[in-house]
Amino acid sequence: MTEFTIAQERKVVTSIPGPKSKELHERRRKAVSNGVGAALPVYIEKANGAILVDVDGNQFIDLGSGIGVVSIGHTNQGVIDAVSHQVAQLTHTLFTVTPYEQYVEVCELLNKHTPGNFEKRSALFNSGSEAVENAVKFARKFTRKPAIAVFDHGYHGRTNLTMAMNFKAAPYANGFGPLASSVYHVPMSYPFRDPEGMTGEQAAERAIVYMEKHIGAEDLAAIVIEPVQGEGGFITPAPGFLTAITKWAKANGVLIVADEVQAGVARTGQWFASEFEAGFEPDLFTIAKGIAGGMVISAVTGRADIMDAAHPGGIGGTFGGNPVSAAAAVSVLKQIEAGGVLEAAQRIEATLMPRLLELKAKYPVVGDVRGRGAMIAIEFVEAGSKKPNKEITDKLIAHCHQNGVLVLNAGIHYNTLRFLPPLVITDELLNDAIDVLEAGIKAHS
């Protein structure tokens, strides 16, 4: 049992946002770029487990984990101890100047726990986008080919290359071009919206024809795919899709990069979401969000021959694999190794799924419930159709926020609610949050 230092309960004591948050938000307006958004402008003072406490004393149930980052729980004691110790020992040398053990240990742990029975290497960076950028560098260097295929509804980041890899232009790319070239968008398997009865193999065939005709395998270095799409609204491809894509890629000298930045590191109830389909065999993995309890670190892990194809000095960066972040990652990875964390994600699915499916049976605006482990989403539609219903989604998010439940939007039509709770969340809190959501659906549908 996790010992909590803040009572794991929802508490709303002011209007949301409260007066102190409003004051801070005014200060922010004058100091922070307008380009940086704010989903819920309550200013958070502290947190523990699955509870956020704001400057006005309100307590929110966190169903976002900072977008799947603090999966191990807010202010996890192992992370606090590892960071406190490390920050007093050594905060920076630059690993490519004079190395340190923590970097090597993170790489060893990732090599051990990523899927694939082959020799592996890793390299560490700062953000998910940076990991994706570097996976593309490794793939191009190894294959000596330029093109990259990505999937509809996918999201890969906000840097110049990754902007071009996202499905949505708004808000990620509009006005920020020119975008990087040699990036091709391919149809994804989206069971809720594909033609009725379309199998994973058929959806893969649709994507493969597109890759053969529009790109050509002789120019295609890698296919980059999220095994469960994050920002796209937790779209989980039909069974057989990832296997058929893998078969084609292997037969055509095309690498597969699994973008596990959101779905990886225990979130789905396995170490990596790629493990759910045995025939899916990525060559490289990009890893970030949930790896270090909120500390800043990301990784590319994969086949040794690909990772070693890059020349010395070609890969790196000033802060990548920082000692303090690396110490936090070692703590998180070892806690997952010790047991109980994957099971916690599975327990969350077992609690959430039946309740959400019950909502689907009761309310025709609930179109689809999907996802894996502690990565579950509801897609809202207009009753009696599959037309995306952004309006009710907005109302429900506002309703949840007013009542002390932090939920996040997702999906290309902004009509999906996603649940990414810290894995230490109690069943009581989960049920309380779903009660709040259901009251909202009842009131607004």
Chain contacts with ligand PLP (rule: CB under 6 A): 127-129, 132, 155-157, 226, 230, 259, 261-262, 288-289
**CB nearer to ligand PLP: pick between 374 and 381:** 374
Q: Which residue of the chain is nearest ligand PLP when measured via CB? A: 128
Least distance (Å) from ligand PLP to the CB of residue 132?
6
Which residue lies nearer to ligand PLP by CB, 69 or 208? 69
CB of 150 to ligand PLP, least distance (A): 11
Contact (Cβ atoms closer than 8 angstroms) between residue 237 and residue 274:
no
For residue 246 the two structure tokens come to 């893998």
Smaller CB separation from ligand PLP, 288 or 434: 288
* Cβ closest to ligand PLP, residue 263 vs residue 433: 263
Rounded Cα distance, 421 and 408, in Å: 11
Question: Per-residue b/e over 219-257, b at no fewer than 16 CB within 10 Å?
Answer: ebbbbbbbbbbbbbbbbbbbebbbbbbbebbeeeebbbb
Question: CB of 224: closest distance to ligand PLP in angstroms?
Answer: 9
Shortest distance in whole angstroms from residue 234 CB to ligand PLP:
11
Least separation in angstroms between residue 156's CB and ligand PLP is 5
What is the closest distance, in whole angstroms, from the C-beta atom of residue 118 to ligand PLP in the complex? 23
For residue 375, the tally of other CB atoms under 10 A from its CB is 26
Cβ of residue 241: shortest distance to ligand PLP, in angstroms? 17
96 phi, psi to nearest 5 deg: -80, -5
Residue 2 or 129: the one with the smaller Cβ distance to ligand PLP is 129
Instruction: Quote the CA–CA distance of 2 and 10 in Å, as a whole number.
Output: 18
**In this complex, which beta carbon is closest to ligand PLP, that of residue 155 or of residue 190?**
155
Identity of the residue, 132 or 407, whose beta carbon is nearer to ligand PLP in the bound complex: 132
